[in-house]
Amino acid sequence: MTMGHKNKRALRIWGFITNYRFRSVFFSYFLNIFIAILLTFILYAGAVFVYYNYNLETSHRQDVLKKAEDAASAFDKSVNKIERGYFSLSISKDIGAFIGLKNFSPKENSQLANSVNSELFNIVAYNSLIKSIYVHSFASGKTLASFLTNSEGAISDSDWLSYYMNSPRKDFVYARQLYSNYMGEDTLTFGWEVDKYNHPAGLIIINCDMDAFSKSVTAGLSDSAIVNVISDYGGIFLSTEAGNLNRDIADLPFLRNEMDMLAKRQDDSVVINSAGGVSALARSKFSPYCVNLIEAVPAMPPGNLTVMILAAIISGFIFAALLALFISIRLYRHILSIVSLLDASYDYSAVKEPAEVSFIADNIISMTDKNKFFEHELAVKFSELKKSQSIALQMQINPHFLYNTLQMISLDVMEITKGDNNATILLESLSDILRKIIKTSNYIISLSDEIEITNKYIEIQKVRFKGGIAVEWKVDESFYGLRCVKFILQPVIENSLLHGAGGDGNIKIMISASVRDNVLFIEIADNGQGIKAEKLKNLQDALNSVNFMEDDHIGLTNVNKRIKLIFDERFGVTVKSEYGRGTAVTISMPVS
């Protein structure tokens, strides 16, 4: 193939693309390939996203659990500092003496008061978490503090005592606002009941700086992390969320679920997914408290996702365009080959093309040959149609004119003969038939009307055969309302009269009707001479043929063709005959 021929073919291919544009094969392939790539990317990206989130969530759950355990450990260290101060105070002789003294007076017992005050002050001075300490005696009702009290041994802060009186527990912890110099400070208050001789004798109250305590627990955590410290009786006494302070976990279902799960397990920690992210709960190892940590699951950086989507769209667009162009060029080349093969002057037997191209070309050529055959068949059918039209034109007689003429003839004959005779009977029957034909313009009538028309025809033939015709009807009256093609019994009976005469000169015809499987069957049987085998085969061939054939039984073929045209090929006329024993013609039509 020369270079010039290749260039010419390339230009023709490019012409296909530019002429058809969005309707071209190139654009169709491009669109389908691009959509397939895009869908594949979406599925792949979805799978990666799910896998990434799963791994991220799993690792984040482990990370949050570790942070919760670390926070619980940090909380233990802070609580341990507070409890060391409590233990040292609980074994102090001076504090024991103060608690047991009923008639304590700061003035009379000033030495004891100063000693207790000094001991409390030293603990506050060496512990940055503690803001103040109270020691209260149930016996005297007096309270000494780490700062100087009034001369009556009383302090202005008494909220802790009310809390203790309303609490069923000996030891307690809760968050509150402690007012100093008219300024409210967030305070975490720990309280312990002190026994003397196995009876409650007093209280030791340690007030801690909540901010300092919270920082010691949340050190190293992100600002978005939420930390809740829960007492053994289900109250939240330390939280980075101010709204959670002193709330019961019954108000927070996810925390309650975590506490229930932790109670049922041997482990010291548990982690679940919550509405705010991942929630972990760690049990304190040295105190009856639990630390809850909530952190949101980090999402994929939006910048990375945007870059990945843009890169996928651009690369998919370029790849789809190149692949569509490659496929289109190959397809257009084969199309040009097929066009060349269809050229009548082209010797396609010498052209080497893929088997698929040759197969398509052979099929197109075969279809062309079939079209030529169908054109010939159509010409034959058209010729037959003209013949049928010619026959129909020859038989077109104005029924109104003929009916009126017969009526006039009948009146003249009656006037001449002075009464009824065979001529008037014939004229009257023929007039009735024509009247029925004129009255019922539709080609579908009731079976009763068809029987009436047929009986009029039989009366005419009885006159002709001088009473030598015997017709027996076996039609149930329930069938009279069924629909029937007009004027189909007369041609069959006429055929019996013309071609079947009994051996004794008489003609016997039996007409019966039945319904099976919603099909109406009408059988016309005679005692005529029957049809010879060869003629019977020709008649059956004519009935089965799609063409209209002119023969001695044109009436039967006419009836058969009309029924098939009105209904379909399943219905029509069938003929059974045995030479010397008569003929039976069966007509079938649908009931509904």
Residue 510's CATH number: 3.30.565.10
Final residue before a domain boundary, out of 243, 272, 302: 302
Question: How would you classify residue 376: left for phi > 0, otherwise alpha for psi between -120 and 50, otherwise beta?
Answer: alpha
Instruction: Name residues whose C-beta falls within 8 Å of residue 88's C-beta, 6 or more positions apart in sequence.
Output: 123
Whether residue 103 lies inside any domain: the answer is yes
What is the distance between the alpha carbons of residues 135 and 203, in angstroms, rounded to a whole number?
Answer: 6
Whether residue 158 lies inside any domain: the answer is yes
pTM recorded for the entire structure: 0.48
pLDDT of residue 376: 78
| Contact between 160 and 114 (Cβ < 8 Å) | no
Question: How would you classify residue 172: left for phi > 0, otherwise alpha for psi between -120 and 50, otherwise beta?
Answer: beta
Instruction: Name residues whose C-beta falls within 8 Å of residue 569's C-beta, 6 or more positions apart in sequence.
Output: none
State the DSSP string of 8-72: HHHHHHHHHHHHHGGGSHHHHHHHHHHHHHHHHHHHHHHHHHHHHHHHHHHHHHHHHHHHHHHHH
Q: CA nearest 64: which of 276, 301, 289?
A: 276
238 with 133, same domain? yes
Whether residue 536 lies inside any domain: the answer is yes
Query: In 3-state terms, what secondary structure has residue 573?
Result: strand
**Residue 402, number of CB atoms within 10 A of its CB:** 15
368 with 502, same domain? no
| Tens of pLDDT, residue by residue, the chain (592 residues) | 444 545 555 555 555 556 655 556 666 766 777 788 778 877 877 777 777 777 777 888 888 888 888 888 888 888 898 989 999 999 999 999 999 898 888 888 889 989 999 999 999 998 888 999 999 999 998 999 988 666 566 788 888 999 899 888 888 888 888 776 555 688 999 999 998 888 899 999 999 988 888 888 888 888 888 898 988 888 888 888 888 888 888 888 888 888 888 777 777 778 887 766 788 888 888 778 888 888 887 766 666 667 777 777 888 778 777 776 666 666 666 666 666 655 545 454 544 555 555 666 677 767 777 777 877 777 766 666 555 544 444 444 445 445 555 655 655 566 566 666 666 666 666 666 666 666 655 778 899 989 988 888 888 888 777 767 889 999 999 999 999 988 889 889 888 887 765 545 578 899 999 999 999 999 999 988 888 888 888 888 888 876 655 555 677 888 888 888 888 889 999 999 988 888 999 999 998 6
Final residue before a domain boundary, out of 394, 416, 431: 394
69 with 207, same domain? yes
First to last CA, the chain: 69
354 with 293, same domain? no
33 with 119, same domain? yes
What is the distance between the alpha carbons of residues 150 and 7, in angstroms, rounded to a whole number?
Answer: 113
pLDDT of residue 513: 94
Q: CA nearest 471: which of 529, 524, 528?
A: 524
204 with 83, same domain? yes
Whether residue 241 lies inside any domain: the answer is yes
- DSSP secondary structure letter of residue 109: T
Whether residue 532 lies inside any domain: the answer is yes
Specify the pairing of strand 519-526 against strand 507-516.
antiparallel
| Contact between 218 and 284 (Cβ < 8 Å) | no
What is the distance between the alpha carbons of residues 45 and 296, in angstroms, rounded to a whole number?
Answer: 23
The parent domain of residue 388 ranges over: 348-394
281 with 379, same domain? no
What angle do helix axes 25-90 and 110-125 make, rounded to 10 degrees?
150
Whether residue 404 lies inside any domain: the answer is no
224 with 365, same domain? no
Sign of the four-CA dihedral 537, 540, 544, 549: positive
Instruction: Name residues whose C-beta falls within 8 Å of residue 546's C-beta, 6 or more positions apart in sequence.
Output: none
- Strand-pairing partners, residue 269, are 282
**Residue 141, number of CB atoms within 10 A of its CB:** 12
State the DSSP string of 258-280: HHHHHHHSSSSEEEEEETTEEEE
What is the distance between the alpha carbons of residues 312 and 487, in angstroms, rounded to a whole number?
Answer: 77
Tell me how many domains the chain contains. Answer: 3
Q: What is the CATH number of the domain that holds 201?
A: 3.30.450.20
What is the distance between the alpha carbons of residues 382 and 377, in angstroms, rounded to a whole number?
Answer: 9
Residues in the chain: 592
Whether residue 322 lies inside any domain: the answer is no
221 with 136, same domain? yes
290 with 372, same domain? no
119 with 247, same domain? yes
385 with 512, same domain? no
pLDDT of residue 479: 92
Question: How would you classify residue 495: left for phi > 0, otherwise alpha for psi between -120 and 50, otherwise beta?
Answer: alpha
Task: Return the H-helix or E-strand segment holding 213.
Answer: helix 210-218
What backbone torsions phi and psi does residue 581 show, to the nearest 5 degrees? Answer: -130, 5
What is the distance between the alpha carbons of residues 402 and 431, in angstroms, rounded to a whole number?
Answer: 8
Q: CA nearest 433: which of 416, 418, 445?
A: 445
Sign of the four-CA dihedral 344, 349, 354, 360: positive
- DSSP secondary structure letter of residue 508: E
Q: CA nearest 188: which of 79, 76, 68, 342?
A: 79
Final residue before a domain boundary, out of 302, 334, 363: 302
Whether residue 311 lies inside any domain: the answer is no
How far from chain centre, in Å, is Cα 66? 44
